[in-house]
């Protein structure tokens, strides 16, 4: 079972729609110059909602191999939910991926595993791939409880999913202490938790499902550290924050083995 590497750039609340167009064009140019093969690595940008239509226009207009995602989705299909964006609205814009349960949503918007589970389900039901985030804070890591902590998040996030739905989903392990801090987990730390997640999927489902599911690492990934992280057997890609805001840097991350 070969898992195609996935390099996803989470822009968070950065860049207006004009800056978004500029970044996507720059990324496309940098990858084209390097003869990038999109069939070997998926490259995904995840802009704020207000940029998605502009990103769609440049990606489709220039037939770019870059895909795009959203940073969140409503659990509701439509109706009186001020400020929310539905899965169907995202699907209409050609969105392929939806990040669910990012630690910033969990922390600032009180999202629990059950909400993460509902959002991942909504993404799948609308034909998009959830990128389900999990990860421990510093206190949990210091206590040596990171593996059980993350596995409990995984159990909650995948509750009620079929094996096919899990295999279609993407998991992103992001230790909170490594997000935006410049402090990267070692490749061994990343491997330890990504491998434990894969074992858990094989226990909850089967070996085949575990072997098919892509598991990313996220937290201060840069072009200078991505190769060592990607060399680990159970790491299938990266969810990149800060370093995805610069075309040249993110193109190097996407070419991690170049």
Q: Choose, by CB under 6 A, the member of 6, 52, 116, 179 that binds ligand PGA.
A: 179
Least Å distance between CB 111 and ligand PGA?
14
Burial per residue of 101-123, b for 16 or more beta-carbon CB atoms within 10 angstroms, e otherwise:
bbbbbbeeeebebebbbbbbbbb
Burial class (CB in 10 A: 0-12, 13-18, 19+), 80: exposed
Burial class (CB in 10 A: 0-12, 13-18, 19+), 49: middle
Does position 218 bind ligand PGA by CB under 6 A?
A: yes
Q: Which is nearer to ligand PGA, 10 or 86 (CB)?
A: 10
Pairing of the two strands 214-218 and 97-100? unpaired
Does position 226 bind ligand PGA by CB under 6 A?
A: no
Least Å distance between CB 170 and ligand PGA?
13
Q: Choose, by CB under 6 A, the member of 10, 71, 153, 169 that binds ligand PGA.
A: 10
Does position 241 bind ligand PGA by CB under 6 A?
A: yes
CB 197 within 8 A of CB 171: yes
42 is catalytic: no
Does position 239 bind ligand PGA by CB under 6 A?
A: yes
Does position 219 bind ligand PGA by CB under 6 A?
A: yes
**What residues are labeled active site?**
102, 174
């Amino acid at each position: 079972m070969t898992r195609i590497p996935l390099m996803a750039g989470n822009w968070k609340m950065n860049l207006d729609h004009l800056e978004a167009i500029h970044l996507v064009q720059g990324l496309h140019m940098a990858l084209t110059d390097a003869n990038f093969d999109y069939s070997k690595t998926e490259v995904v940008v995840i802009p704020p909602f207000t940029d998605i239509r502009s990103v769609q226009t440049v990606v489709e207009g220039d037939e770019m191999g870059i895909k795009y995602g959203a940073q969140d989705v409503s659990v509701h299909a439509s109706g009186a939910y001020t400020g929310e964006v539905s899965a169907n609205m995202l699907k209409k814009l050609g969105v392929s991926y939806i990040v669910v349960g990012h630690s910033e949503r969990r922390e600032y918007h009180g999202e629990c595993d059950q909400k993460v589970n509902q959002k991942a389900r909504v993404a799948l039901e609308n034909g998009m791939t959830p990128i389900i985030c999990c990860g421990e804070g510093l206190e949990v890591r210091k206590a040596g409880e990171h593996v059980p902590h993350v596995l409990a998040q995984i159990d909650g996030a995948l509750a009620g999913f079929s094996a096919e739905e899990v295999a279609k989903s993407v998991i992103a392990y992001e230790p909170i202490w490594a997000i935006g801090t410049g402090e990267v987990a070692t490749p061994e730390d990343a491997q330890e938790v990504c491998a434990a997640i894969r074992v858990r999927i094989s226990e909850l489902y089967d070996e085949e499902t575990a072997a098919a599911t892509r598991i990313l690492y996220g937290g201060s990934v840069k072009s200078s550290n991505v190769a060592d992280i990607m060399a680990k057997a159970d790491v299938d890609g990266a969810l990149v924050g800060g370093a995805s805001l610069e075309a040249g840097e993110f193109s190097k991350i996407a070419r991690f083995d170049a």
